[in-house]
Amino acid sequence: MAGVTVTFAPLFLPMEFPVEVWYPFSTEPLLRKFIVYVMEIFVIAHTVFCLGVDVMIAVLLFYTTARLEMLTFEIQRAINETHVISCIQKHQEITRFISETQKAIQYLLFKTNLTMGFTVISGCFPILYIQSHILIPQFLSMIMAALQRMYITAWPADDLKEVSIQLALSAYSASWIGKSPKMKSDIFIMLQRSQKPLLISMGGLLPALTLEYYANFLTTVLSYFMTMRAAIST
């Protein structure tokens, strides 16, 4: 939505190009103006398409969360050793999958959160002193798009953490009382392996990706924004 707003802004607002950029040459000739306009649209589209990467990461995390959630119901209905062993094998498969996924996305998530953090901060500062009713909506759209990108991955990562905690509780409340020692031992193994929640790391350079991290980021940015606004006002 932010990309569409910026791209078609010159059609409805008194501005020449979607992005106000100074060029070291004249943009008055029609052909040159068309080329510059197309180049800016290409840059905007490239930025917007990066959202597809975040959606793909979110789908992978939601898929893993759904498998874990099904496993919580399955472990509660386990009635013999075979069922428990099957649950242990599925849990190993899920943890292996999320481990391989995390290796592939952790630095990508770090880059995304770092760049989107700078985008939000950079978008907030101009709003403090820009009085133009034309430019402020553009910066607001940029800020909302950056926050949306961060939320798209923080939401499923937080769900994964919560469901992994629920799995440990489900294993503890399984029907193991009165069962064979072997089945109790298998459930105990399941409990041990599910004690640590599954967290999505960002290369160890930032805190684990959760909604708590996202909320802390919003609080920090808002605090800096209000402090700068008060300083400029005085």
pTM: 0.76
Helices 181-193 and 135-172: angle between axes, nearest 10 degrees: 160
The letter for the amino acid at 104 is A
**Domain spans, the chain:** 24-233
* pLDDT, tens digit only, all 234 positions of the chain: 656 666 666 666 666 666 666 567 667 777 877 887 777 777 777 777 777 788 889 999 999 999 999 988 888 887 788 888 888 889 899 999 999 999 888 888 888 888 888 888 777 777 777 666 777 777 788 788 888 888 999 999 999 999 999 988 887 777 766 677 777 787 788 888 888 888 998 878 888 899 999 999 888 888 877 777 777 666
Angle between helices 211-233 and 81-129 (to 10 degrees): 10
CATH 1.20.58 matches 24-233: yes
Q: What is the CA radius of gyration of the chain?
A: 25
